[in-house]
Structure 1
Amino acid sequence: MSTRSRAVLLGAVAAVAALTLSACGHGGTSGGGGNTNFVTGDNGIDTAPKGKRAAAPDLSGKSIDGKSLDVARYKGKVVVVNVWGSWCSPCREEAPYFSKVAKAYQGKGVQFVGINTRDTSTTPALAFEKEHGISYPSLYDPTGKLMLRFKKGTLNPQLIPSTLIIDKDGKVAARALEALDDTGLKKMLDPVVAEK
């Protein structure tokens, strides 16, 4: 292996390790010091009050089926963003619940979007979606670059799976850093859907 290849590989491993380890913060801090204006619940769901939410970054690119996808086009709807990988066992556990809730909220001003990460090709991602009945689109983000677009100290995704609720104004209202069942997902989603 050449020195350049080794350096690229080590850089990629370091980036993945930093992303994985960055979830060690508790309470009102996340990935850096300072008050972040969000509340950590006992159920692993963090929320931000309506006036103190950070805007979601640009979440756009190719979907796992090769189409262009831009989350910004859903502004005016509540968007559920689920970060997942086909290799991730907690993702496999929560997938049927996400499929069920996505179908239940169709036509209610809610859009589900996945971010598939760390799958080396789209083949296992497409098989995962088919197996679990996932009908909503997923961005293909094999290196985790989309996750890194979120500012530190905000309700940023730090683990796989992570779930974010983006409000109708395009701001991050809630985050879970663990697998969710349908009850947990609805508990996180319903207050944001009810906002005027």
Structure 2
Amino acid sequence: MGPSRRATVTGLLALATGTLTACGTQEKGDSAGSLGAAKGSSSQFFEPGERTVTPALKGTTLDGEQVDIADMRGQVVVINIWGSWCAPCRKEAPELRKLAEKTEPLGVRFLGIDIRDNKSAAKAFERNYGITYPSIYDPDSRTVLGFKQLAPRAVPTTYVLDKQGRVAALSIGPLTYRGFDPIIRDIAAEKA
């Protein structure tokens, strides 16, 4: 991706976050599983040669199925960290549903990670917003440690993994279909 294309994608990532607030950010000294008060939003795109983090994520979904991110290699995967208690998560849920539906023909898969939540509230959230892709149930926020140094500092946080399973982009804060669709499509169009 050339400099002008990267600037466009970086600008789109900034738009994708929608607002400058999120449910929580990790404060200095907090453990990765402890998310504190909101400070703002940010986004980041990694060029293919800069991508070093390949998350190790596995767990049980809200529906009781086992999922391992390693089984999704070869596909672009969008991972959203959310909680039913999070107002920005409710704001972005319809946008994520639309993104999942519109990018499915490209082979893009979606996976949620529901943190600090109770199962019945999380299932009601998915029903209310028509979310059909699976979500790992992670009430203790331990699964997110699989992102290593890119572990989320706020909720919601969304990652896009390339076909090699590496973090290609991340966005902190609620995203929009209009802002995030081109980012997913650009990453999906990359050669494996």
TM over 0.5: yes
Question: Do the aligned residues in 1 keep the contact of 2:59 with 2:66 (CA within 8 Å)?
Answer: yes
> Aligned-pair distance for 1:67?
1.0
Q: Which amino acid aligns with 1:80?
A: V
CA distance in 1, matches of 2:96, 2:189: 19
1:127 matched residue in structure 2:
124
Question: Do the aligned residues in 2 keep the contact of 1:157 with 1:175 (CA within 8 Å)?
Answer: no
Q: 2:188 aligns with which of 186, 189, 193?
A: 193
TM-score, structure 2 as length reference:
0.77
The size of the alignment, in residue pairs, is 162
> Aligned-pair distance for 1:18?
4.9
Q: Does residue 161 of structure 1 match 2:156? A: yes
2:176 matched residue in structure 1:
181
Report the 3-state secondary structure (helix = DSSP H, G, I; strand = E; otherwise coil) of the residue aligned with 2:105. Answer: coil
Q: 1:170 aligns with which of 154, 165, 170?
A: 165
> Aligned-pair distance for 1:146?
1.4
2:9 matched residue in structure 1:
none
Unaligned runs of 5+ in 2: 1-29
CA distance in 1, matches of 2:66, 2:152: 22
Pick closer, same or farther for the CA change 1:107–1:80 going to 2, 3 Å.
same
1:144 matched residue in structure 2:
141
Q: Does residue 115 of structure 1 match 2:113? A: yes
Which string of whole-angstrom CA distances, capped at 9 and with x for unpartnered residues, describes residues 8-62 of structure 1? Answer: xxxxxx64785437x97x9xxxxxxxxxxxxxxxx93201110111232211110
| Larger RCO of the pair (alpha carbons < 8 Å, separation 6+) | 2
TM-score, structure 1 as length reference:
0.76
1:50 matched residue in structure 2:
48
Structure with greater Cα Rg: 1
Report the 3-state secondary structure (helix = DSSP H, G, I; strand = E; otherwise coil) of the residue aligned with 1:186. Answer: helix
CA distance in 1, matches of 2:190, 2:33: 37
2:20 matched residue in structure 1:
none
Q: Which amino acid aligns with 1:156?
A: A
Pick closer, same or farther for the CA change 1:122–1:47 going to 2, 3 Å.
same
CA distance in 2, matches of 1:46, 1:184: 14
Which string of whole-angstrom CA distances, capped at 9 and with x for unpartnered residues, describes residues 45-104 of structure 1? Answer: 201110111232211110011111112111100000000000000000000010011011
Identity over the aligned pairs, expressed in percent? 41
Unaligned runs of 5+ in 1: 1-13, 27-42
Report the 3-state secondary structure (helix = DSSP H, G, I; strand = E; otherwise coil) of the residue aligned with 2:99. Answer: helix
Q: 1:106 aligns with which of 95, 104, 107?
A: 104
Q: Which amino acid aligns with 1:131?
A: N
